[in-house]
């Protein structure tokens, strides 16, 4: 049975402690199962200032920290930050790459039946499609930061 990644730490802990009483490992289980917030501690997917205003989000597409006051992020009520995990630019690029990859995958069968490629070429073609989809296209202005600290410093320099 496949275990969801989210629960793998808990399952590993329980398997390693099969013979122990629940009370002896309960604190560890609770720590693993506790919600992690992005507003206070170390760098996570977003950072909120002391007033609770989100001032940095790590864009899931660009893999960089960005200030939502500089780059547009869609609203997402169900997210802890209140924002989508991808900037609008990143979401658009991700959607485009996903669509092109699906079309290319679907076209493999047509290319195979027409003789354009052989069966032995399919794995190489699929790797090529995956590599194209994995390319991260940066923002036109190059905005975005590897670290939360750099993002916060830039926002401060901008007077935000």
- Three-state SS for 160? coil
The answer as to whether 81 is a domain residue is: no
The answer as to whether 130 is a domain residue is: yes
Would you say the pTM of this structure is higher than 0.95? no
pLDDT reported for residue 26: 75
**Greatest C-alpha distance within the chain:** 65
Q: Give the domain range for residue 19.
A: 1-34
Selection from 78, 36, 72, 41 nearest residue 57 by Cα: 72
The answer as to whether 22 is a domain residue is: yes
- Which residues share a beta bridge with 47? 56
pLDDT at 34 over 70: no
* Cβ partners under 8 Å of residue 78, min gap 6: none
The percentage of the chain sitting over the pLDDT mark of 90, rounded to a whole number, equals: 24
The percentage of the chain sitting over the pLDDT mark of 70, rounded to a whole number, equals: 93
Provide the number of structural domains found in the chain: 2
Q: Would you give the end-to-end CA distance of the chain in angstroms?
A: 49
Q: Which two tokens stand for residue 11?
A: 């399952």
The answer as to whether 57 is a domain residue is: no
CB 56 within 8 A of CB 151: yes
The answer as to whether 52 is a domain residue is: no
DSSP designation for 66: E
Selection from 75, 96, 99 nearest residue 85 by Cα: 75
């Amino acid at each position: 049975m496949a275990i969801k990644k989210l629960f793998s730490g808990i399952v590993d802990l329980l398997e390693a402690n099969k013979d122990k009483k629940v009370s002896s490992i309960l604190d560890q289980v609770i720590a693993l199962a506790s919600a992690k917030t992005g507003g206070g501690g170390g760098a996570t997917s977003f950072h909120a200032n002391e007033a609770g205003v989100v001032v940095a989000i790590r864009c899931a597409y660009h893999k960089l920290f960005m200030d939502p006051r500089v780059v547009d992020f869609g609203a997402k009520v169900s997210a802890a930050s209140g924002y989508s995990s991808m900037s609008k630019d990143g979401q658009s690029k991700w959607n485009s790459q996903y669509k092109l990859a699906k079309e290319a995958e679907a076209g493999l069968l047509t290319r195979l039946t027409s003789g354009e490629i052989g069966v032995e070429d399919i794995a190489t073609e699929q790797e090529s499609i995956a590599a194209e989809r994995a390319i991260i296209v940066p923002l036109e202005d190059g905005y975005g930061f590897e670290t939360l600290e750099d993002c916060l410093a830039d926002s401060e320099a901008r007077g935000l």
